[in-house]
Structure 1
Amino acid sequence: MGQRVNEYRQPIGEPMPQWQPAKAPGDQPMTGRYCRLERVDVKRHADDLFHAYRAAPDGSDWTYLSVGPFETPDAYRDFLATCAASPDPLHYAVIDLASGKAIGTLSLMRIDKPNGVIEVGFVVFSRRLQKTRMATESIFLLMRRIFDELGYRRFEWKCDSLNAPSRTAAARFGFTFEGIFRQAVTYKGRNRDTAWFSIVDSEWPALRAGFAEWLDAANFDAQGTQRRSLQTCIAAQRA
């Protein structure tokens, strides 16, 4: 198909006659096989989250965040209260279904309903959550909500360009790297060049099938070791 042009012979984008603005994320929990996402609540989650974060040997998990680490339960409780009251970012606690404990948080943010764009951000996973099936499933639950239920066209991931673990995670989850926005943010008294990643709705069916295959209990042996990597599962679906 050739490039569309207008009456002035200028190239223009494809028409979207069926497009309707996306819906706002609600407060409904998202439940998977291993974890549940629910809106953060100070009474229900603050103590569990504080103790999960404090179990780390140092404060390095907070290096690339604009806040933290928090030294006292009261300091973290005050911060979580601001999260609970915020409509954007919309913060969720990650609940371990086996223990019923909150072990991390993440959010939907920069919510742009008219254009169908939304971002996952403020990902704060405790060491109990990092590199687990629950961590992967929590991202999958957000993707399923925003693409299948809310009708978004674009899902974004942004991070400090120096944050190698975050960039690796974005690639593993199927996000496409789009470039570096130089001097985009200042935080904690320093500059941040921001790495941008995205998934668009046409890519979602293959990703959904790849995540589902990876998260299936049959993909793990008796010791919990994966048989196929997430990237392998996604690549097979894309092929």
Structure 2
Amino acid sequence: MATFASETNTYAQTPTMEYAGVRLEQLSVDHADDLAEVVTAGALDKIWYTSIPSAQQMVDDIKNRLALQDAGVMAPFAIIDVATGKAVGATTYLNIDQPNRRVEIGATYLSVAAQGSGINPAAKYLLLQRAFEELDCYSVAFCTHWHNAASRAAITRLGAKQDGVLRNHKYDPTTGTLRDTVIFSILPYEWPAVRTNLQARLERHGRL
């Protein structure tokens, strides 16, 4: 029997986690209809400086994420609003480097209706808690496009520190542009303050 990398790579596993009215669970093609609705309703795939799949691309995007999970380099989750039971977004650990205890949190998108509701802080809480308290990560990274000011601000609000900018990091054949990638990280000794900050935000949203 074949053994997939995700079966031996703890970081690529996707246990169900729940906190503050949000559940993260293994992404599957069963989530495709909900996620296609999320993308279409907010025209999320039209934002030029992101790489969010269209409704038509959703099944293929999910299958690609699952293939990366099988290769041991991604852990893809669906973000579930417990109140409705529907998927309102997706997120991942990506660029997994288990020998060096490093992951990146990214490839994330969230419905416009769910933004500002506390769902994103709850999802980040779950991912960071697992990274630092269960996986014993040395570093958790966040990367975003230089022009994605909202993402940069959101990462900063988490308490992540900017490490630097990779100039001309990626070429986008769709727009013909080169991406400058801004890199942030959170380290283990910073997690207690980040955790407290996230809990305070969730309290303000009435989720705790």
Bin of the TM-score, shorter chain as denominator length: 0.7 to 0.9
1:180 aligns to what? 165
1:50 aligned onto 2:36: yes
CA RMSD of aligned residues (A): 2.0
State the TM-score, normalizing by the size of structure 2: 0.85
Report the Cα distance in structure 1 between the residues aligned to 2:62 and 2:10, rounded to whole angstroms.
Answer: 25
Structure 1 71/50 Cα, relative in aligned 2: closer, same or farther at 3 Å? closer
Equivalent residue letter for 1:48: D
Q: Per-residue deviation at 1:35?
A: 0.6
Q: 2:111 aligns with which of 106, 120, 126?
A: 126
User: Per the alignment, in what secondary structure is the counterpart of residue 49 of structure 2?
Assistant: coil
User: Per the alignment, in what secondary structure is the counterpart of residue 42 of structure 2?
Assistant: coil
1:190 aligned onto 2:156: no
**Which structure has the bigger radius of gyration?**
1
Q: 1:164 aligns with which of 143, 149, 155?
A: 149
Q: 2:21 aligns with which of 34, 45, 58?
A: 34
Whether the aligned pair in 2 keeps the contact of 1:39 and 1:84 (CA below 8 Å) is no
Task: Name the one with the larger helix percent.
Answer: 2
Task: Name the one with the larger strand percent.
Answer: 2
Equivalent residue letter for 2:156: A
Runs of 4+ aligned structure 1 residues displaced above 3 Å come to: 57-60
Report the Cα distance in structure 2 between the residues aligned to 1:80 and 1:160, rounded to whole angstroms.
Answer: 22
> Greater relative contact order (Cα 8 A, min sep 6): structure 1 or 2?
2
Whether the aligned pair in 1 keeps the contact of 2:166 and 2:180 (CA below 8 Å) is yes
User: Per the alignment, in what secondary structure is the counterpart of residue 11 of structure 2?
Assistant: coil
Q: Per-residue deviation at 1:199?
A: 0.5
1:108 aligned onto 2:93: yes
Structure 1 119/52 Cα, relative in aligned 2: closer, same or farther at 3 Å? same
Structure 1 98/57 Cα, relative in aligned 2: closer, same or farther at 3 Å? same
Structure 1 108/71 Cα, relative in aligned 2: closer, same or farther at 3 Å? closer
2:193 aligns to what? 206
Could you tell me which runs of 5 or more consecutive residues in structure 1 were left unpaired when the two chains were aligned. 1-21, 225-239
Report the Cα distance in structure 1 between the residues aligned to 2:52 and 2:58, rounded to whole angstroms.
Answer: 10
Structure 1 208/106 Cα, relative in aligned 2: closer, same or farther at 3 Å? same
Report the Cα distance in structure 1 between the residues aligned to 2:59 and 2:147, rounded to whole angstroms.
Answer: 29
Task: Write out per-residue CA displacement over residues 76-124 of structure 1, whole angstroms, 9 at most, x where no aligned residue.
Answer: 2222222233212321110000000001011101111122211011111
Aligned residues: 194
Q: Per-residue deviation at 1:213?
A: 2.8
Structure 1 116/125 Cα, relative in aligned 2: closer, same or farther at 3 Å? same
1:82 aligns to what? 64
Report the Cα distance in structure 1 between the residues aligned to 2:18 and 2:50, rounded to whole angstroms.
Answer: 26
Report the Cα distance in structure 1 between the residues aligned to 2:148 and 2:205, rounded to whole angstroms.
Answer: 29
Identity of aligned residues (%): 30
User: Per the alignment, in what secondary structure is the counterpart of residue 114 of structure 2?
Assistant: coil
Report the Cα distance in structure 2 between the residues aligned to 1:160 and 1:126, rounded to whole angstroms.
Answer: 19
Report the Cα distance in structure 1 between the residues aligned to 2:10 and 2:136, rounded to whole angstroms.
Answer: 7
Whether the aligned pair in 2 keeps the contact of 1:25 and 1:150 (CA below 8 Å) is no
